[in-house]
Amino acid sequence: ETEEQPITRRHQVKAKGSNVPSHFETFEELRTRFSLPSLIASNLEKYGYSKPTSIQSYAIPILLEGRDLAAISPTGTGKTLSYVLPTMIALDSPNSKGKKEFGSGARAVILAPTRELAHQIHNECLKLAEGRKWKIILFSKATSSTLADKNVRDKVDVIISTPLRLVASLQQGHLDLSNVRHLILDEADRMLDSEFLDQIEEIIAACTYSDIQKSVFSATLPANAEKVAFGVLRDPIRVVVGLKDT
């Protein structure tokens, strides 16, 4: 008989790669180690994120140290926050503040295979962003046409989309991904399979920022998808979370 486990139960974690950053145990630690803004800290608390899950405690420092990552962790273990939290920290203030070093246009792109998943990711971003005016766009036909206006486009912070939607907009010339510093593929087993591969490659090619950080998240990563992922990632760390044998 299986007993339902709380989401923050400890799992077996394997992290492989060069100079793997140490993991953390409490969100409090992120305040001192990565200057987690107090607004984000209070949003975490507000939405009941009191303690990181296993994948979060490994993935978050890796991403905050700017490393590429392939993260494999079972469904329901909190992969979304593993990339949403470091993304929001890395963004610093909204681009509408016009800081020169932010460049213009989206600094982060999160891709998911379905509109429904993209919608869920968007909601997670909005929770952490509550209280600050980041422009976090769930890509749709309607939003992509508003981006035809360069003034609107330049002030976007984060884009969440399915690959198809983004490629359509790229092909119309309504989208500039040259300022994207964080590219995240969720459900990477599907995203790196033949259904989406051409689109993903087109998006990666449009992300021309030289110091771009890429990460992939998935519950499983079949050998073919892993091979594609490691062709795209730079000096990546591979983190695998497994259920502990009982």
Q: How far is the CB of 124 from Mg ion (least distance, A)?
A: 10
Q: Which is nearer to Mg ion, 79 or 153 (CB)?
A: 79
Interaction with ligand ADP in 11-70: which residues (CB under 6 A)? 48-49, 51-53, 56
Q: How many CB atoms lie within 10 A of CB 228?
A: 19
* Residues 6 or more apart whose Cβ sits within 8 Å of residue 87: 63, 108, 110, 125, 158, 182, 184
Order across the sheet with 12-16: list the strands: 12-16, 237-242, 69-72, 213-218, 182-185, 108-111, 158-161, 136-138
Amino acid letter, residue 198: D
* Residues forming beta bridges with residue 161, ordered by sequence position: 111
- 110/158 Cα distance (integer angstroms): 8
The binder of ligand ADP chosen from 21, 43, 67, 79 (CB under 6 A): 79
Count residues binding ligand ADP (CB under 6 A): 16
Q: Does 131 bind ligand ADP (CB under 6 A)?
A: no
Q: Does 155 bind Mg ion (CB under 5 A)?
A: no
Q: Does 122 bind Mg ion (CB under 5 A)?
A: no
Q: Which is nearer to ligand ADP, 45 or 195 (CB)?
A: 45
The closest of 108, 110, 113 to 121, measured between CA atoms, is 110
Q: Which does 128 bind (CB under 5 to 8 A by kind): Mg ion, ligand ADP, none?
A: none
Interaction with Mg ion in 62-81: which residues (CB under 5 A)? 79
Q: How far is the CB of 52 from ligand ADP (least distance, A)?
A: 5
- 37/83 Cα distance (integer angstroms): 16
The closest of 144, 145, 114, 139 to 125, measured between CA atoms, is 139
Q: Which is nearer to ligand ADP, 208 or 220 (CB)?
A: 220
Q: How far is the CB of 8 from ligand ADP (least distance, A)?
A: 5
The binder of ligand ADP chosen from 2, 75, 194, 246 (CB under 6 A): 75
Q: Which does 222 bind (CB under 5 to 8 A by kind): Mg ion, ligand ADP, none?
A: none
Q: How many CB atoms lie within 10 A of CB 239?
A: 25
Q: Which does 7 bind (CB under 5 to 8 A by kind): Mg ion, ligand ADP, none?
A: ligand ADP
**Contact residues: Mg ion, CB under 5 A:** 79
